[in-house]
A and B are shown apart, each in its own frame.
Chain A
Amino acid sequence: MLNTEPCIERPDDFYEALLTAHQGLTTEQSHELNARLVLILANQIGRYDVLQEALAAARGNLERTTEGAPR
């Protein structure tokens, strides 16, 4: 089950590190970094059911526009 209770050690340090990792990158490079980060963290989680819950939570109530509708 997806754990949504706070469990990141040193949340302020983590958030700063996240932004620092993106520093000096173009938006395109930042997208690349994010994609790599998602894949690395997904492997760390491993469990498919948890990943599905995480995807659903991340998707939240983002509007599904006609153009962006999944195939």
Chain B
Amino acid sequence: MSETANRDIDYQKLEFDYHKSPDQSRAQPAHHPVVVVGAGPVGLTLAIDLAQRGQRVLLLDDDHRLSTGSRAICFAKRTLEIWDRVGVGQRMVDKGVSWNVGRVFFRDQEVYRFDLLPEPGHERPAFINLQQYYAEGYLAERAAELPNLEIRWKNKVTALTQDGDRVTLTVDTPDGPYEISASYVAACDGSRSPLRGLLGQESKGRIFRDRFLIADLQLAEPLFPNDATERWYWFDPPFHRGQSVLLHKQADHVWRIDFQLGWDADPDEERKPERILPRVQALLRQGFERDVPFTLAWASIYTFACLRMDRFRHGRVLFAGDSAHGVSPFGARGANSGVQDAENLAWKIDAVLRGRAPDALLDSYAGEREYAADENILNSTRATDFITPKSEVSRIFRDAVLGLAREYAFARSIVNSGRLSVPATLDGSVLNTADVDGFTTLLRPGAVAADAPLSREGRATWLLRELGPDFTLLVFGAAPAWAAELGVQVLAFDGNALHDAQGLAAQRYDAAPGTAYLIRPDHHIAARWRAPTAAAVRAALDHALAKA
């Protein structure tokens, strides 16, 4: 897969042309196996994944531009691994900013410093910081390489009906409306999701009474010696009393600052540069004890809510990303969970369209990702409650934690300015086959397969890179003779081509000679055995395809 470099493109200014499609002149609606609505990070990832699986994919977007300004910025390890599969992971990592050192301040003192030293033996870091427009730009360029993926810009879905066989969409364009039909529609059309509205559905939950200012700054000189990157989080600092402030870095030397403003702040006033500049100057003077020349590249005011749709599946329409669920920004669970939705959905739609699995497999998409959304909402709500105490007593406890954290390590574990986004372990999924043998619980069925450094014929490789687009039977030892007839990829540490050179795979998978894992196309573990039999593996495979 090509990972071409177009470093100088200003993705925020990029415009995509509308072209009239032959579908618009047909007497009968043209039929498409799968239509994805919304060309954001979720829709693009899903469309590329489906197209790489050989599906003919139509992606509709009501606009003709990518993301602008400051939106998603932290992309987690799991997202990068998924983007490796769609061919853009390396570009994201090359362009993105990595950091390990973070500092937490309370009032006028540094409370503690932490160093997120990455655990060795994983190809991808825990996360990178990268502007959303780069992520979308790289995905859009990858999409353009796939002949069976068509993107139609300025195509807005205005009506939707469905029966047992198909969905019919009315699509408005600069040349007027036309109709198409689809076997399945993926609604990746964002938090205000027009498709959700067309189905009469809502996303419900808790709205937080708080406002935040985002300011993106282009600094004229490095903030840290040697142009280092650190993440700083202030609770109740002298330059912004009673509120919190977050500073972190994105690509192109753009620093992003989130100022908590409180519910009573006037959003129209606060987004004016004459209000923002003194806030930034005060932060730089008091936080860094100097004046740093800067220009304001972007500013906006946001509020947030934790909410989700009751069900992510409505007949032949499947909701993914912000259309299905919304979280607060703390912990970077918005775009990251959306990309995981896409990953979960792509192989299932493909399997159903090929007749390899029954339509019921798509019910498991909803079940699994609703579960994951609840976990993300729980984590993000907890961070929000720490950052924005909702009562006097919660502020007393919050401040007590911060006051103790300087001196006592135990209190640092309670400080919560957003927990690292990690993928949900899909405990209780209908696709899992329960353990029958004794294993440690870490990589239990439902968990995402762990990476590990391997070597193949003397060349370094990674376990996740070796997993193909289909199910994989990973065998710690020689592959049983019957494995070749399963119709899935078999990866065996049999002493020949593939080696677990450092023993980390065996360690992470709690493997003994003969241990085998059945890994789904989206890298979640379906089942595992100490001594697999053909019948057991076949049954688990059928189960993971919702066939039995």
Contacts and interface: CB of A to CB of B under 8 A. Distances in A.
Interface in B392-414: 393, 396-397, 399-401, 403-404, 408, 410-411, 414
A52 interface: no
Interface in A11-38: 31-32, 35-36, 38
A42 to B, nearest CB: 9
Contacts of A71: 390
Interface string A37-71: 01110010000000000000000000000000001
B488 to A, nearest CB: 40
Interface in B413-467: 414
B399 A32 contact: yes
Contacts of B399: 32, 35
B390 A36 contact: no
A39 B390 contact: no
Given A40-B404, A71-B390, A35 B410 contact: no
B410 A36 contact: no
Contacts of B404: 36, 39-40
B392 to A, nearest CB: 9
A48 to B, nearest CB: 13
Contacts of A43: 408, 410-411
A31 B410 CA distance: 20
A43 B410 CA distance: 7
Nearest to B381: A71
Contacts of B393: 31
B396 A32 contact: yes
Contacts of A40: 404, 408
A31 B396 CA distance: 7
A32 B404 CA distance: 11
B89 to A, nearest CB: 37
Contacts of A31: 393, 396
Nearest to B385: A71
A40 B409 CA distance: 11
A43 B390 CA distance: 24
A35 B399 CA distance: 9
Contacts of A35: 396-397, 399-400
A38 B401 CA distance: 10
A57 B1 CA distance: 61
A39 B411 CA distance: 8
Interface in B342-372: none
A71 B390 CA distance: 10
Residue from B400, B403, B404 whose CB has the most chain A CB atoms within 10 Å:
B400
A17 to B, nearest CB: 19
Contacts of A32: 396, 399-400, 403
A39 B414 CA distance: 10
Residue from A38, A39, A43 whose CB has the most chain B CB atoms within 10 Å:
A39
Interface of A: 31-32, 35-36, 38-40, 43, 71
The 5 lowest CB-CB distance pairs between A and B, nearest first, are A35-B400, A43-B410, A36-B400, A35-B396, A35-B397
Given A39-B401, A39-B404, A39-B411, 20 more contacts: A31-B393, A31-B396, A32-B396, A32-B399, A32-B400, A32-B403, A35-B396, A35-B399, A35-B400, A36-B404, A38-B397, A38-B400, A39-B397, A39-B400, A39-B410, A39-B414, A40-B408, A43-B408, A43-B410, A43-B411
